[in-house]
Structure 1
Amino acid sequence: MTSFLIPCSLFPVPCSLFPTVLFKLYFLFQKNILEVINMVYLPDTLELTINLSDEQFFQLCQDNRDLRFERTSEGYLIIMSPTGGNTGRRNIKLSTQLELWSSQMKLGVAFDSNTGFKLPNGANRSPDASWIKRERWEELTPEQQDKFVPLCPDFV
């Protein structure tokens, strides 16, 4: 069983108002009339339950490349919000330094924040920057290298 955890920061209106706005728009579209509708409030996190296999989760991510998903070991699907400017600047500096070191040392391969890893506990995570020893990377099949990497990185 997988649940979607949707942070309120993804909505262009306050989370507590989102269902009201959505419901009002739907109601007005269906009935074509203006009418006051009772307020409906949601908790800070919206939880929807759905079953997703590993392949379905991968396909969901491929079909929605403008969103970033992670999945916990319990099966909760987390929609990640974008970072702020300062965090983005720190992340690119970290990723650049890691890649430069990795290229110079030739001991492994570096990955950016878009790389998904299928961890031994069943979670799918995308660290800001990560690195895997070359031997471990080369043991993977081309298909495993193209999908979510079925390894825990050696460095994150």
Structure 2
Amino acid sequence: MGENRRLGRAIWAPVGAAALSGLVIGGLARLLMRGVALAVGGSTGLSLVGTVAILVAFVVLALPAAVTATARPAIMHAGRWVTAALTGLMAARTGLGDAKTIVLADDGQLTPITMLIVAFAAIVVAHGRLAQHLTRRFRALPEAPAEALRTPDPRPV
């Protein structure tokens, strides 16, 4: 029975961590994308389909870091950098879609645009670290005793 629980944690901890870190970092990325659109005077609408696609992409991109969170240090770092590289590539590719608008931006727009690009870089690096941190935390959660999982008896004692 204990072996099944350990195996379950080994599987579900990285999946849960990838989901949570992907939702958090993907949500931040979506807000930063809106910030760039505001800074260049573009369309600032957020579509539900676009937001869901971004969140799903960030969840999937967190998997290499989450799965390698408890591996040997070299493998753990490689998993984190795979997540950072893929996330960075996706973010840069999305950002470069508006490169012409950014290049043609007024001087007053460059400072906020630059700050938003630096923020993107920060969340790209944080993405893998957060996924690995959450995986280790989820795997370290104490096991709940069976009595704590039972529904309490509603009758008075």
Q: TM-score, normalised by structure 1?
A: 0.24
Higher strand content, 1 or 2:
1
Higher relative contact order (CA 8 A, sep 6+): 2
